[in-house]
């Protein structure tokens, strides 16, 4: 044993002339094992905190590892154990494939997911996927052993592809709109109910001629529109759809035109998102139409800036922190083979000045 310890006295000297670049002190378990005078297996167990190794040996090895800044190679560990400790988070770009993740809500959801997953000891592999007509963008991630599970943020126009992959790949959960009869596990806001609540609030506040402002290409926005339209219809209130593109540079003129095109004097607006609502606030202000005096506006999402608009925005809040928690919880369940239920969270209206007379 003494002769082995001798080596540790001069770690700069290479043991054998074979190593062409063996300057780095400790790169593998074996290196550390040599220094500690034990075997690699023992070091492995010691660093993992297993009980099969003497406490003082373990502490000694851990101290040695810390001193040399040694971290076991994760790739080898992952390969050996078959567990990666990584969750893939994928954002399909879909229709708005300008290459940039645009929806600020998704980015905030991502932030919350980072919190939740870090909490459970998972790392995040982030992919922004540009669907190419096949399911490859998803299978590339699910099939290559890089992750233990996948969270898809937003279905975009890929709900069918996701559904197909979900049949074969269990540890998969999706933020988005649930549909009856689906295999995939979705978590999201009840957008239809959100639209309904918005309209009912507008009606209660005295507005009668209503409009839905924003595109309905995204499945979530379509649901919001449906809910809003249904609520207006059952109240017998006039209701029009003014599609504007929040991605376009010139949302201002678009909204301008949309409002001008409406042949009714609009008294209440349900916006597809907070950003659209904010643009509407600005346009109306510039046109001399008072909010909430002449027109009332309800946004959607309750992003942080919604409280800072002029006037502050009444909006349908999506509980994304709670959603992130639900996503991770369900994913963990699925990883362990348990069945899960989809979740449509009830939205809550946050009333601020934009609808308060």
Partner DNA sequence: CTTTCTCGTGCGGTGATCAGG
Partner DNA sequence: CCCTGATCACCGCACGAGAAA
Query: What are the residues binding its own copies (CB under 8 A)?
Result: 69-76, 78-79, 84, 86, 89, 99-102, 104, 107-108, 110-112, 114-115, 118, 123-128, 139-140, 143-146, 251-252, 275, 278-279, 281-282, 285, 304-305, 308-312, 321
Site size for DNA (CB under 7 A): 31
Which partner from the list its own copies, DNA, none does 309 bind, CB cut-off 5 to 8 Å by kind? Answer: its own copies
In the complex, minimum distance from the CB of residue 5 to its own copies, in angstroms, rounded to a whole number:
26
The H helix count followed by the E strand count for the chain is: 13, 12
Tally of residues, the chain: 357
29 lies in the binding site for DNA (CB under 7 A) = yes
Closest CA to 243 of 271, 278, 283, 285: 271
In the complex, minimum distance from the CB of residue 134 to DNA, in angstroms, rounded to a whole number:
21
Burial of 244 (0-12, 13-18, 19+ CB in 10 A): buried
Q: For residues 7 and 24, which CB has a smaller minimum distance to its own copies in the complex? A: 24
Helices (H), 236-346: 251-261, 274-286, 320-335
Site pattern 76..115 for DNA (x: CB under 7 A): xx-xxxx---------------------------------
- Number of alpha carbons in the 13 Å side-chain half-sphere of residue 35: 24
63 lies in the binding site for DNA (CB under 7 A) = no
Which partner from the list DNA, its own copies, none does 114 bind, CB cut-off 5 to 8 Å by kind? Answer: its own copies
Strands 172-175 and 123-129, by their bridges, are unpaired
Place of tokens 């904010």: 278
50: left (phi over 0), alpha (psi -120 to 50) or beta: beta
Question: What stretch of H or E contains 3?
Answer: helix 2-9
Q: For residues 1 and 261, which CB has a smaller minimum distance to DNA in the complex? A: 1
Residues that bind DNA (CB under 7 A): 27-30, 33, 37-42, 44-45, 47-48, 51-55, 57-58, 72-73, 76-77, 79-82, 145
């Amino acid at each position: 044993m003494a002769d082995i310890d001798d080596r540790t006295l001069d770690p700069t000297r290479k043991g054998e002339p074979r190593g062409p670049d063996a300057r780095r002190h400790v790169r593998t378990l074996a290196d550390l094992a040599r220094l500690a005078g034990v075997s690699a297996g023992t070091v492995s167990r010691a660093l993992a905190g297993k009980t099969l190794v003497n406490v003082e040996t373990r502490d000694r090895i851990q101290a040695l590892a810390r001193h040399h800044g040694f971290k076991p190679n994760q790739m080898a560990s992952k390969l050996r154990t078959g567990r990666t400790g990584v969750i893939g988070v994928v954002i399909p770009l879909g229709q708005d494939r300008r290459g940039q993740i645009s929806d600020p809500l998704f980015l905030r959801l991502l932030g919350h997911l980072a919190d939740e997953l870090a909490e459970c000891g998972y790392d995040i592999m982030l992919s922004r996927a540009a669907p190419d007509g096949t399911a490859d963008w998803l299978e590339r991630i699910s099939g290559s052993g890089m992750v233990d599970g996948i969270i898809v943020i937003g279905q975009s126009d890929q709900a069918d592809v996701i559904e197909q992959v979900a049949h074969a790949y269990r540890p998969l959960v999706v933020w988005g709109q649930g549909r009856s009869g689906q295999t995939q596990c979705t978590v999201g806001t009840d957008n239809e109910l959100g639209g309904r609540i918005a309209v009912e609030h507008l009606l209660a506040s005295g507005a009668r001629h209503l409009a839905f402002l924003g595109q309905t290409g995204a499945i979530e926005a379509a649901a919001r529109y449906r809910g809003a339209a249904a609520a207006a219809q059952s109240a017998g209130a006039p209701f029009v759809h003014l599609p504007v593109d929040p991605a376009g540079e010139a949302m201002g003129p678009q909204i301008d035109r949309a409002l001008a095109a409406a042949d009714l004097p609009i008294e209440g607006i349900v916006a597809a998102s907070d950003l659209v609502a904010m643009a509407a606030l600005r346009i109306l202000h510039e046109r001399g139409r008072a909010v909430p005096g002449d027109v009332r506006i309800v946004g959607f999402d309750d992003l942080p800036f919604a409280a800072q608009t002029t006037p502050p925005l009444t909006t349908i809040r999506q509980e994304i922190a709670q959603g992130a928690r639900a996503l991770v919880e369900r994913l963990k369940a699925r990883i362990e083979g348990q069945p899960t239920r989809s979740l449509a969270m009830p939205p809550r209206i946050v009333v601020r000045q934009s609808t308060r007379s």
